[in-house]
Amino acid sequence: MLLDDEDITAQREHSFFGDVINYFDSAAKFTKYPEGLLDQIKFCNSVYRMKFPVRMGNKIETVVAYRVEHSQHKLPAKGGIRYSTAVTQDEVKALAALMTFKCAVVDVPFGGAKGGVKIDPKKCTELELEHITRRYTAELVKKNFIGPGVDVPAPDYGTGPREMAWIADTYAAFNPGIDAAGCVTGKPVSQGGIRGRTEATGRGVFYGIREAVGVAEDMKKLKLKTGLSGKRVVIQGFGNVGFHSAKFLLEGGAVIVAIGEYEGAVYDPRGIDVEGVLKHRKETGSILNYKKAKNIKRTNDILEIDCDILVPAALENQVHSGNAAKIKAKIVAEAANGPTTPQAEKILEKKDVLILPDLYLNAGGVTVSYFEWLKNLSHVRFGRLGKRHEELINRTVVESIEKAVGKNLDAKAKSILMQGADEEDLVNSGLEETMIQAYHEIRETKSKDKKIPDLRTAAFVNAIDKIATSYLALGIFP
């Protein structure tokens, strides 16, 4: 039996959407916009709650689902769809609001939206999931809550490229046309997806952390050396985001000392082979009993392990008032949405912990979704027009250098120098530029106003400024 919204909300220590509103209000104090404009930016524009019947085995089940459009200050609205029995209207509203502010922080020209379907995908057959996904899409089409210029979903917890392909196909059946593929992102590459999307959020987390630990002034306050090299990292959550965050951090020189999932966690202070844990999990169905690490039965115990960087990459409300005082990390890097409650944040601030907010840090997914959407509307693969021309120019330059010095370059170096950028190269380059630029914008905002207490507030201030500018340009507000 699925719980109603009220039942699940009662089990939580706070309202997730309420937290977002509180963060917004705290940041709004550092702006000078009229109350009416701030209210327009703050609250959700459209909330669609639906119920529809689906055959599950020999029974007909009623599925509860949501789509929330928080803001249409820029179109389309954008946000993932999650499949979970824990989905509530409060959660979906909060995630939609975060998407609005997240897009603004990284200069992605979308409004914020979010969707949720209250099911356990692990207990559904593939056919049942397809029926649910297609019916959910049909419901969105009925109310004009989906379309390449209206509202563009993406994968989230419990969904992936397969579900996005079903959504695109269903939408095209109702709205055939050359731009139909742009109704959703996170699709398989063969069906209009983009290379680099799968690892985009984790790669963005890596870029964000790398920028933060590269600022000598900030690291000195934390009594840490600059750079990723040797930094001890704990990863909580080993799904797509957690795995890729760990993978890229490891490649960047960090040491992954612990990895946690819902079934438990593994720990080794000398460092864990991320690829090895993934392989072990695929073979056994669990990260536990990995031969080269020690088991930790309670996954949330890893939050309290001594480390330099804690990366919560699971769900919201993981760092709370009950465990914040026990956290030993000097940096909490929010790869998940809303993993730190406001009560916990106050405790961490007193301990001088640097929090890299979700509003910024996990924006890699929506950034690359934006690139996919552009690809779908332009109907051309990135790199297709220029790659060979770049290679011709590069080859000419290399050969000229070799001729001038009278010596051939190393074969590997020569190959790299002559290579033209393909789609994935361009996607990763665009993502890296986005994350670097956004981090230093946030940090600069905090540095300019000494009263702004933390990076989260600074990120919200930046988002409010950008969204307010969009509304003021329309002449609606004085």
Distance CA 332, CA 357 (A): 8
Q: Which residues contact 141 (CB under 8 A, 6 or more apart)?
A: 170, 171, 174, 175
Show the tokens assigned to 23: 């963060």
Query: Over the chain (478 residues), what is each successive 10-residue block's mean pLDDT?
Result: 38 74 95 94 96 91 97 95 96 96 96 97 94 97 97 94 97 95 96 94 97 95 94 94 96 94 90 93 90 82 92 88 92 93 92 95 95 96 87 87 85 84 92 97 94 95 96 78
Distance from the Cα of residue 463 to its chain's centroid: 16
Domains, the chain, with CATH or none: 5-191 (3.40.50.10860), 223-351 (3.40.50.720), 384-420 (no CATH)
pLDDT given at position 5? 45
Rounded Cα distance, 444 and 256, in Å: 30
Catalytic site residue 102? no
DSSP 66-107: EEEE---SSSSEEEEEEE-TT--HHHHHHHHHHHHHHHHHTT
| pTM as predicted | 0.90
How deeply is 442 buried, as exposed, middle or buried, from its count of CB atoms within 10 A (0-12, 13-18, 19+)? buried
Sole residue written with tokens 């008032």: 321
For residues 197 and 368, give the distance between their C-alpha atoms in angstroms, rounded to a whole number: 6
- At 2 the pLDDT is 39
Q: Which of 74, 78, 93, 114 is catalytic?
A: 114
Return the residue matching tokens 């109907």.
379
Q: Are 319 and 14 in contact (CB under 8 A)?
A: no
